[in-house]
Amino acid sequence: MALRLGRVQEQESRSASYTTLACGPDVRHEIEIKRSRFITVLRRAGTEDAARDLVAGLRREFHDARHHCSAFIIGPDRDIQRSSDDGEPSGTAGIPMLDALAKRETAPGVADLSDVSAVVVRYFGGVLLGAGGLVRAYSESVSSALAVAPMVRRGRLRLCAAEVPHAAAGRLENDLRAGGFVMAETSYTARHTILRVAVPDDAAAIAAAAGRLQLLTAGGAVLSPEGTEWVDVPLA
């Protein structure tokens, strides 16, 4: 299956890659602390509107909950960061949640998680936790949810396309994948299948992909560079 392409950023990013949630259903995780329920929901969100939609939806779903605290980080450079305590004492919910997102290591020494919205719904259990207890609870809620969330790398890669016969397309795609190449979106014309390979945006990587395709087709297919896109790449 072709990897998911993302929206083109309006401004050129300084980052070449980052980590985000895999596409799919929201991640939900619940913990209980001194009879208070903390329900964390994580969603991949590439815009502020998408992040705020998660909050709005959970307010409707959990309409009887006392708090719907939130935090999100958006953009390859993580330049959009917002949080809300939603009625909890100032600094005890939104900021700890945001810190849990921002400081989450996706590899040893690497904290690059982005395009993620987190909401923690709290049902008060009757026991006051105090400021320190709230900070720990909201931080732990998000960290625990992130620990079970599926992740992908997201990289800005050069797309290269080649027209190949319909009958050979499946075999060639499998051979390219087996060779370690990342396949992007496939399209079709009346006479050809257009395979697309996503490679690092440098001459050596493009030449390697072109050489591999020519070897597989006995020189019958030519790989032509196209534009760049943000592409999801499964974590190794």
| Same-domain check for residues 37 and 129 | yes
**Does the pLDDT at position 18 exceed 50?**
yes
Is the pTM value of this prediction over 0.95? no
**pLDDT computed for residue 231 by the predictor:** 86
pLDDT value at residue 102: 98
Alpha-helical (H) ranges within the chain are 48-61, 94-102, 130-147, 166-178, 203-216
The domain of 165 spans 153-234
Q: Is the pLDDT score of 21 beyond 60?
A: yes
Under 8 Å between Cβ of 36 and 138: no
Domain boundary among 149, 167, 196: 149
7, pLDDT greater than 90: no
Nearest-angstrom CA–CA distance, 185 and 231? 10
Which residue is associated with the tokens 């815009």? Answer: 47
Ranking 32-41, 70-79, 140-149, 175-184 by mean pLDDT, the lowest is 175-184
Tell me the CATH number at 191: 3.30.70.240
User: What is the tens place of the pLDDT at every residue in 42-94?
Assistant: 999 999 999 999 999 999 999 999 999 999 999 999 999 999 999 999 999 99
Please say which residue of 149, 173, 190 terminates a domain: 149
Tell me the pLDDT band of 13, cut-offs 50, 70 and 90: low
Residue 16 domain-assigned (yes or no): no
Distance CA 94, CA 69 (A): 6
Question: Can you give the pLDDT at residue 172?
Answer: 95
- Average model confidence (pLDDT) across the chain: 92
Q: Which residue has the higher pLDDT, 8 or 206?
A: 206
Query: Is the domain of 140 the same as that of 157?
Result: no
16 pLDDT band, cuts 50/70/90, is: confident
Nearest by Cα to 117 from 179, 205, 57: 57
pLDDT at 178: 92
What 8-state DSSP symbol labels residue 219?
T
Q: What is the pLDDT of residue 236?
A: 64
Mark whether 161 and 190 lie in a shared domain: yes
Whether residues 179 and 203 share a domain: the answer is yes
Half-sphere exposure (Cβ direction) of 209: Cα atoms closer than 13 Å: 28
- Please check whether residues 108 and 198 belong to one and the same domain: no
In the predicted structure, residue 14 carries a pLDDT above the cut 90: no
Q: 236 or 25: whose pLDDT is higher?
A: 25
The residues with which 157 forms a beta bridge, in sequence order, are 229
How many domains does the chain divide into? 2
Q: How far apart are CA 147 and CA 150, in angstroms?
A: 8
More confident residue, 10 or 228: 228
Same domain as 165, residue 141: no
d(CA 38, CA 138): 8
The H or E element that residue 154 is part of is strand 151-164
Let me know whether 143 and 59 are in one domain.
yes
User: What's the rounded Cα separation, in Å, for the pair 29 and 26?
Assistant: 10
On the question of pLDDT at 217 being above 60, the answer is yes
pLDDT at 15 (0 to 100): 78
As a whole number of angstroms, the distance between CA 8 and CA 46 comes to 11
| pLDDT tops 60 at residue 36 | yes
Last residue of a domain, one of 134, 149, 164: 149
